[in-house]
Amino acid sequence: MRSITVALAGNANVGKSSIFNRLTGLSQHVGNWPGKTVEKAEGVLYFKGYRIRVIDLPGAYSLSPYSVEEIIVRDYLLSREADVVVDVVDASALERNLYLTLQLIELQAPLVVALNQVDMAEKRGIAVDHERLSETLGVKVVPTVAITGEGLNELLQTIVEAVEKGERLTAKQLTYGKEVEERIERLESEVRKLALSEKYPPRWVSIKLLERDHLVAEMVSKCEGGAEVLELADELAMELEEMHGEPSPIVIASERYSKISEIVSRVQRVVAPPRVRWERTLDYVTTHPVLGYAILLSTIAGMLGLVFYIGGLLSEAIEAYVGDPLAEAARALLSSSLPAEAVRIVVDGLVVGFVAGLVVVLPYVVPFYAVLSILEDSGYLARVAYLTDNLMHRIGLHGKAVLPMLMGFGCNVPACVGCRILETDRERVLCGLATVFVPCAARTIVILGAVGRYLGVLPALSIYLVVFLVLLMVVRLAYKVAPGEPMDLIMEMPAYRRPSLRVTALKTWSKTKSFVIVAFPIIIAASAALEALSAVGLTEQLVPAMAPLTVGLLGLPAAVAIPLVFGFLRKELALVMLAEVLGTWELSEVMTPAQLYTFALVTSIYIPCVATLAALVREFGWKRAILIAMTTLAVAIVAGALAHVIAIMLRS
């Protein structure tokens, strides 16, 4: 079977991953904000006897990278591994999107354009003549709607046909204005003599040199005769600068855009007034200087309240109809055939662990993911970034940093990786530090299960508030330690969109699935391990050893040492283990309200779970990862001790 490699490239938030998911049946992260995909992803599909390898790339505005995820795109496209590059273009923002297309044409990539989001364009009264666009650019253009899958068959058909006919999909070169074009040609004739021109099109190299692209300049300098070429390039770039009074990268960018304006005027027409009444209203209120912040706070509170409410209902139902009967049945089945010790390990360990996962974890996780997904698909997250840009500057970051942090609500692991959308190393680390403080789904379970359930929703919400204040203080402190001018926000603002039910359902399902696959075995194994450990008496040693901390400083029951240690594996495990070591799910019978509060607070803050730690190590290296983890540990102890002291003061 013949194999084709197809890469999906394009600006941020145009629908690359949506197309990828449709084609491969996988579930890459989609949502309505720029910068979700930060790593290359791969999938396979079979079509008309071909094995098609599809590569999903992060979004990029240009082949001159500005942040880490754009480096990935550039490196991949320069590796020329793909047989076909599908340039996914947002039809409702054609002008800006064609900027990358022009660069792909310069690079002579084997190109097919997917004119995506034609439904959105139509809604805004914009009609794009795809046939004309195809003629003008000299590449194949296929209109698509990724969320319904419209046009994707044609896209595949086009790709396969081209490959079958052995067509070279490289577009004819576009010519720029005379001043620039002359200089490109002069430089090109020199670049042709370099060894590099066998690997990359000389015209592309020339344009990049005129643009003063460092990476290309470096490649050229390594070639024999490269020094002279660089000298000439510098001279020509300076001529351009002199003529236009702008740095040459800006001159070239303007040049591309003037070409694009020409193309757009030929292929795009405004045919009707935009139909965006409710979007505009929503946009207005959610970014309003007063209402906007009120809505932001109530959205977070409402989200947690809703999750708490739905989760509580589900939890009760599952417990009554599934959990209890299951434990009883297991006990009855096993007690006759196995020794008492083994029954304890199996029933109290395995079965109770499984039931705990079912009753305590699942009911909260599912609505949480669903609500988060709806928020994310609407486009609200980008508004939050706009609203909080100011606040973020105080801690040395900018509004975009809020995006990975909000992702952290779901899970800290992708959130840490998501910090790649920030521009400097310093900001990425600060953002990583901020991210691990964000209460993820697992910590939400602990907060809701230990505090929300026994003390009410408001105290639970107050933990979030405390954690956010702590986050701000810690990151601000870190910013003071590692100072530097915060970068300025540059972010595309996506239009509001009605979240698609299908996408939400699929996303919730796939996240829940992976949560269950990862979390259940750990919860069950840990429950069994706990029973086994206490059977051999190991827990009796750990508990007193940690007593000065747990009892002395935090005022918690001594047995809490065990859930805290297990919590390092997964945060929700802390809650499950707490119930198991205390021997009851009615936590309020064995712990005071203050103890429950302190426990939830400490669990929310101290050391991120193993998976997050691994992500931190991968993104930031050992040293910084350990530093971040230790910071959270110290902060958790201080916060817990303070909560304890305040509780004592309130009582007396």
Partner 1 sequence: MSEKVDTLDCALEVIMTLERRGLRPDDASIAEELGKPIAEVQKMMEEAIQRGLAVKKDGHYELTGEGLKRVLRHRELFIHDRFVHGEDRWSAKVRDWGRHWRHRHGLTKDLLESFYKALADLDGRVEELKPLSDMEPGERGVVVSIACGLGAARRLAEMGLTPGVQVAVVRKAPLRGPVEVEVRGTRVVLGYGLASRIAVKGLGGSA
Ligand X SMILES: Nc1nc2c(ncn2[C@@H]2O[C@H](COP(=O)(O)OP(=O)(O)OP(=O)(O)O)[C@@H](O)[C@H]2O)c(=O)[nH]1
Among ligand X, partner 1, Mg ion, none, what binds residue 50 when CB lies within 5 to 8 Å by partner kind?
none
- Which residues have a Cβ under 8 Å from the Cβ of 210 and sit 6 or more positions away? 180, 183, 184, 187, 233, 236, 237, 240, 248, 252
Residue pair 56/20 in contact (Cβ under 8 Å)? The answer is yes
- Name the residue nearer to Mg ion (CB basis): 352 or 413: 413
User: What does the per-residue mask of binding to ligand X show for 3-22, with x meaning CB under 6 A?
Assistant: -------x-xxxxxxx----
List binders of Mg ion among 11-50 (CB under 5 A).
Answer: 16-17, 36-37
Helices (H), 357-484: 362-378, 380-394, 402-407, 412-418, 425-437, 441-446, 453-455, 457-481
Which residues, 463 to 502, sit near ligand X by CB under 6 A?
Answer: 497, 500
Q: State the DSSP H helix or E strand holding residue 424, giving kind and residue range, or none if neither.
A: none
By a kind-dependent CB cut-off of 5 to 8 A, residue 14 interacts, out of ligand X, Mg ion, partner 1, none, with ligand X
Of these, 39, 119, 129, 241, which contacts partner 1 (CB under 8 A)?
241
CB–CB of 495/276 below 8 Å?
Answer: yes
Asked if 147 touches ligand X (CB under 6 A), the answer is yes
Nearest to ligand X of 15, 110 (CB atom) = 15
If one asks whether residue 34 binds ligand X (CB under 6 A), the answer comes out as yes
**Applying CB under 8 A, which of residues 131, 328, 488, 586 lies at the interface with partner 1?**
488
Within residues 53-72, the interface with partner 1 by CB under 8 A covers: 61-62, 64, 66
Place of tokens 């105290």: 459
37 forms part of the interface with ligand X (CB under 6 A)? yes
418 near ligand X (CB under 6 A)? no
Residue from 390, 514, 541, 584 in contact with partner 1 (CB under 8 A): 390
Which distant-in-sequence residues (6+ apart) come within 8 Å of 508 by Cβ? 366, 369, 370, 373
Among 9, 77, 120, 495, binds ligand X (CB under 6 A): 120
Site size toward ligand X (CB under 6 A) is 28
Q: Of these, 22, 24, 54, 59, which contacts ligand X (CB under 6 A)?
A: 59
Q: Name residues contacting partner 1, limited to 255-294 (CB under 8 A).
A: 257, 287, 289
Among residues 143 and 567, whose Cβ is nearest to ligand X? 143
Report whether 263 contacts 136 (CB < 8 A): yes
Short-list 468, 467, 471, 462, CA closest to 593 = 462
Inter-CA distances, 111 with 81, 140, 144, 272, 523, Å: 13, 8, 16, 31, 48
CB of 492 to ligand X, least distance (A): 10
CB count within 10 Å of CB 570 equals 21
Give the 3-state secondary structure of residue 32: coil
Residue 40, burial from CB neighbour count under 10 angstroms (0-12, 13-18, 19+): middle
3-state secondary structure of 126: strand
Q: Are 212 and 253 in contact (CB under 8 A)?
A: no
Q: How many CB atoms lie within 10 A of CB 592?
A: 14
Residue 119 in contact with partner 1, rule: CB under 8 A: no
Residues 396-415 that bind partner 1 (CB under 8 A): 398-399
> CA dihedral defined by 539, 544, 549, 550, rounded to 10 degrees?
60
- Interacting residues with partner 1 (CB under 8 A): 61-62, 64, 66, 92-96, 99, 126, 238, 241-242, 244-247, 249-250, 253-254, 257, 287, 289, 382, 385-387, 389-390, 393, 398-399, 423, 487-493, 495
- Interacting residues with Mg ion (CB under 5 A): 16-17, 36-37
- Interacting residues with ligand X (CB under 6 A): 10, 12-18, 30-32, 34-37, 58-59, 116-117, 119-120, 145-147, 377, 497, 500, 503
